[in-house]
Structure 1
Amino acid sequence: MRFQHSAALWRDFPELVPGVLAARGLHAGVSVDDRLVPYAETAAKRLATATESELPEIQAWRRAFTRMGLKPTQYRCASESLLRRFRKEGALPRLHPLIDLCNAVSIAYAIPVAVFDLSRVAGDLEVRYATGEETYLTFSGDDEHPAPGEVVFADAEGRAHARRWTNRQSGLSAVRPDTADVLIVAEALHETARADVESLMGTLATELTTLWPATSPHPAILTPSAPRFDTAV
């Protein structure tokens, strides 16, 4: 299975820094409660002096959404939505140990983190502009068709596993209690994105190895000259 961004996306967003890793042998029978605390504290400290929309990581995604013709206050990147909820409620909903961990790391770094169940992805996965023929399954079970030109995560069967780039994932490849193998993707566009994404991916790799010792994640940072990540399915 190959993950990559299209050449057109690299052309239009040369500042993009994606981090990716595959993790296997996961299960829901671990406790992450204590491990989430420092990430929540980091996010709270940042939000004490600025709203999420003022953070450079979020501002960069807002500019990208504007360039894509989207209203950034109507469609927010995933990390902004999480930070917004965290600021208002003081906590995030608990869903699954892996998702809870990735959400906590996401708000600490203010960088979107997507998690895909590899068993639900057909063939290769590419972040690209939609043709309008892709299908997207919502969490409520409805099928949608992204508009032509929208940025989607599309697999070999034309199924969109995320819409509006980092706005919303699909219910099709969402992590479930029986999910074992996942692909994790973090993307950033701000000035210090390279260092921050490297740090984020290293943090996730360490946490995954600690919580699920059987997995051996190897993070990679993609670039225009090395844009592909290959993993066995």
Structure 2
Amino acid sequence: MRYSVDTSVFEINPNIKFGILIGKNIRNSETTPGDEGKLRDAERRMRENFRADQVRELPNVLLYREFMTNAGINPNKFPPSVEAMFKRILKGGTLPIINAVVDLCNAVSIARTISLGAHDLKDIQEDLEVRFAGEGDRFLPFGATEYENVDKGELIFTSGNTVQTRKWIWRQSELGKTAIDSKDIFFQLVGFEAADLAKAMADIENLVIARFQGTCQKHIVDLNNRYIDF
């Protein structure tokens, strides 16, 4: 299977980088008290370091918003998913407990202020690509049973014509959601600074191997290396 990023994406910002990890034979579970503790600690540290009115200026969030604007997406109407998550935390809220993989990935996303998506490979049948939508692309919203059409020219993350994430990093599909029985997971991180991205990728790799007893492949996709095969 191939993951690729269209050249037009790098024309928006040549510094954008995609950190890809493929976790295999993961043993996911219900969230343990220790797992939840890591999530709550990440939330607490974020509240200690930032205010609610600083969300749009957080590391990476500002760059995500600029990228979306330049891609023709209004980030006020379709904010990057991490912006909404960080805003909830900084206003005093806590994230719901879902399962160990999701909750620990959220902890990494909060700690590193980075966009991080996890996609169950059992639902992915065709090559993955970050590109602008064309005819025939469709999306199954989270919790829905009926597909919706995707606007032509919209920046998407997709498997063939089945869209995994709409409006770039705004909303993830029902297909590919990480559940208790998820064993093979595709992780996609988006950053702009190589060092920051590497730290977040190392966090995920450690979780896959040490917490979930799986194996992990790591890749960087950027302007000079637009695709990987896995």
TM-score scaled to structure 2, two decimals? 0.91
Equivalences for residues 61-76 of structure 1 within 5 A: 61-76=64-79
Other structure's SS at 1:95 match: coil
What value does the CA root-mean-square deviation take over the aligned residues? Answer: 1.8
Other structure's SS at 2:163 match: coil
Equivalence for 2:218: 219
Residue of structure 2 aligned with 1:144, choices 123, 141, 148: 148
Other structure's SS at 1:51 match: helix
Other structure's SS at 1:177 match: coil
Which has a greater percent of strand? 2
1:57, CA displacement in angstroms? Answer: 1.1
Equivalence for 1:57: 60
> Which string of whole-angstrom CA distances, capped at 9 and with x for unpartnered residues, describes residues 75-107 of structure 1?
111211110111224311111211111111112
One-letter identity of the residue aligned with 1:152: I
Residue of structure 2 aligned with 1:88, choices 82, 91, 105: 91
Equivalence for 1:164: 167
Preserved contact between residue 43 and residue 107 of structure 2 (Cα < 8 Å): yes
2:135 counterpart of 1:126: no
Preserved contact between residue 198 and residue 221 of structure 1 (Cα < 8 Å): no
Q: Classify 1:45/1:229 alpha carbon distance in 2 versus 1 (closer, same or farther; 3 Å).
A: farther
> Structure 1 unaligned runs (5+)?
none
Residue of structure 2 aligned with 1:107, choices 68, 90, 110: 110
Equivalence for 2:204: 204
Equivalence for 2:7: 7
Equivalence for 2:181: 178
1:172, CA displacement in angstroms? Answer: 1.1
> Structure 2 unaligned runs (5+)?
none
Equivalence for 1:229: 228
TM-score scaled to structure 1, two decimals? 0.90
2:158 counterpart of 1:154: yes
One-letter identity of the residue aligned with 2:113: A
Preserved contact between residue 136 and residue 161 of structure 1 (Cα < 8 Å): yes
Other structure's SS at 2:216 match: coil
Q: Classify 1:34/1:168 alpha carbon distance in 2 versus 1 (closer, same or farther; 3 Å).
A: same
Which whole-Å CA distance do the structure 2 matches of 1:194 and 1:39 have between them?
Answer: 22
Preserved contact between residue 78 and residue 113 of structure 1 (Cα < 8 Å): no
2:29 counterpart of 1:29: yes
| Stretch moving more, 195-204 or 81-90 | 81-90
Residue of structure 2 aligned with 1:43, choices 1, 22, 46: 46
1:164, CA displacement in angstroms? Answer: 0.6
Which whole-Å CA distance do the structure 1 matches of 2:135 and 2:199 have between them?
Answer: 36
Which whole-Å CA distance do the structure 2 matches of 1:46 and 1:74 have between them?
Answer: 26
